[in-house]
Chain A
Amino acid sequence: MNHLEETVNLQTVHSMHNHGAGSSGFDAGFGIPGGLTDMLPLLLAAVLPIAAYLTAVVLTNRRYKRWPIRRSLLGCTGILLSAAAVAGPLAEASHHNFTLHMLGHLLLGMLGPLLIVLSAPAALLLRSLPRRQARMLSLLLRSRAAAFLTHPITASVLNMGGLWLLYATGLFAAMHTSPILYALVHLHVFAAGYLFTAALIPVDPAPHRTSFPLRAAVMIAAFASHGILGKFLYAYPPAGVVPEDAKRGAQLMYYGGDAVDLLLILLFCSAWYRQSARTYLRSSPTVLQDGYRRSVRNPGKEGIHD
């Protein structure tokens, strides 16, 4: 593999960032760092999805059970963190700094999608749409294509495969010279991260839910692949990245990944814990105990409760 030869022309990259980031086209690159001008692209990128989410909440609260505030908070934070990776100061700086690029990747591909998954956007969309459209969306979610796409194996291949392609081939360098490629890669990182998270810890209606052991195995394989890629990057930096920066970025990927993985594992296991109580309760209804009653009464997030 050919690592260090090519150096990305940072000036070129810098001048095209805004198109690449797919934000407003407002050039924040020359403002005061951290000032309002720098934050503007981020705010513009995040304002639309946040407004859409909150509008849906307010409108549907009139007809249905109150949408939990916790979900709105999770959704807005998730959108903001994801947007921070593609617009604003962090996105800006990540063009020149691999470690910050990696921070952006953790937000866009892992933490942001996780928070958005927890905010149950599909359930919100289902209760926002008129009945006919809602039924169509529901049919779409039940379709075989959706079953394939949201299967944990498909989702993790899309997610991990995409990352290996990005960092272990020339794609990383190529992305910094083509705004279209840049936008596509970032869209993929977010979408694949979302699919992966939703497949492992379904909060939204998930008609094709797979078993806990399958999901656990996929989860471990994907986490392993993420860690291996981290160490691989430590040893073989992508073209145009100086070794010191690559080492810092690789360790951030490894340990930052572990931190988000821990959240996923905790959510996954507590879903199993609640499920286990329900199964046990069904099979031996005479052995009700306090612990069971409690956890069955509050079954939490496995499924939709509107």
Chain B
Amino acid sequence: MTTFSEPAAAPNKQEAAKARSRSLWSGILFGLGCVAFIDEVVFHQLLHWHHFYDKSTTAVGLVSDGVFHAFSWFATVASLFMLADLRRRRALFAARWWGGLLLGGGFFQLYDGIVQHKLMGLHQIRYGVDLTAYDWTWNTAAVVLLVAGVIVTFRTRGEVPASGGKDRD
């Protein structure tokens, strides 16, 4: 197991802070992309609960959906390249990455559930049923992820790097 200070990067505080923040952001982006991906695959394609387009969709809802869709598509891939880069530099803070994952996932789930589904009326979770239970489950799950993310992120704020890019080949 390698630590940050040997032999790779200089045991430099600034460098460590940068790596810590990058680990967090890579996690956040991946969490966001993951939730968006699950949303698309499970709810749109497999269950067919969500609709491609819903008559009540507003212009602002359409734009918000388009931007989030494009962003999450990019974020999923980019965050994994960031992760690979951090491992290569032996500068990955693994726990912090997981914290970011929960944060990003929870944030997007909550944004989707409250802002996109409810405020912008983009589409609903499911059609032809009483939505109350669905909406509560959706948003409670989001809050749980988000709170867990905040706790992990807070507790790892001074962490030293874990086994990031340990002994390869």
Contact = CB atoms under 8 A, between A and B. Distances in A.
A227 interface: yes
A73 interface: no
Contacts of A216: 74, 78
Given A220-B71, A231-B53, A291-B168, A225 B9 contact: no
A258 B81 CA distance: 19
Contacts of A284: 9-10
B117 interface: no
Given A258-B73, A270-B81, A292 B67 contact: no
Contact of A287 (B9, B62, B85): B9
A220 B62 contact: no
B162 interface: no
B126 interface: no
Interface string B51-87: 0110001000011011101110110011001001100
A115 to B, nearest CB: 20
A232 B65 CA distance: 12
Contacts of A265: 73-74, 77-78
Interface stretch (A11-19, A98-106, A138-146, A272-280): A272-280
B165 interface: yes
**Which of A219, A227, A292 is packed against the most chain B CB atoms within 10 Å?**
A227
Interface residues of A, number: 35
Contacts of B73: 223, 258, 261-262, 265
Contacts of B8: 287, 289
A231 B52 contact: yes
Contact of B70 (A220, A234, A291): A220
B18 to A, nearest CB: 12
Nearest to A223: B70
A221 B52 CA distance: 20
Given A228-B62, A234-B52, A284-B9, A291 B78 contact: no
Interface in B102-119: none
Interface string A251-287: 1001000100110011001101100110010001001
A113 to B, nearest CB: 19
A51 interface: no
A273 B85 contact: yes
Contacts of A231: 52-53, 57, 62, 65-66
B128 interface: no
In the complex, which range does the number of interface residues on chain B fall in? 20 to 34
A234 B74 contact: no
Contacts of A273: 81, 84-85
Nearest to B7: A287
Contacts of A136: none
Given A284-B10, A290-B169, A228 B66 contact: yes
A224 interface: yes
Given A234-B52, A291-B88, A224 B81 contact: no
B81 A269 contact: yes
Contacts of A174: none
**Residue in A220, A266, A284, A292 with the greatest tally of chain B CB atoms within 10 Å:** A220
A225 B66 contact: yes
Given A223-B74, A269-B77, A290 B168 contact: yes
Interface of B: 7-10, 52-53, 57, 62-63, 65-67, 69-71, 73-74, 77-78, 81, 84-85, 88-90, 165, 168-169
29 contacts: A220-B71, A221-B67, A223-B70, A223-B74, A224-B63, A224-B67, A224-B70, A224-B71, A227-B65, A228-B65, A231-B57, A231-B62, A231-B65, A231-B66, A232-B62, A251-B52, A261-B73, A262-B73, A265-B77, A265-B78, A270-B81, A272-B81, A273-B84, A276-B85, A287-B9, A290-B168, A291-B88, A291-B168, A292-B88
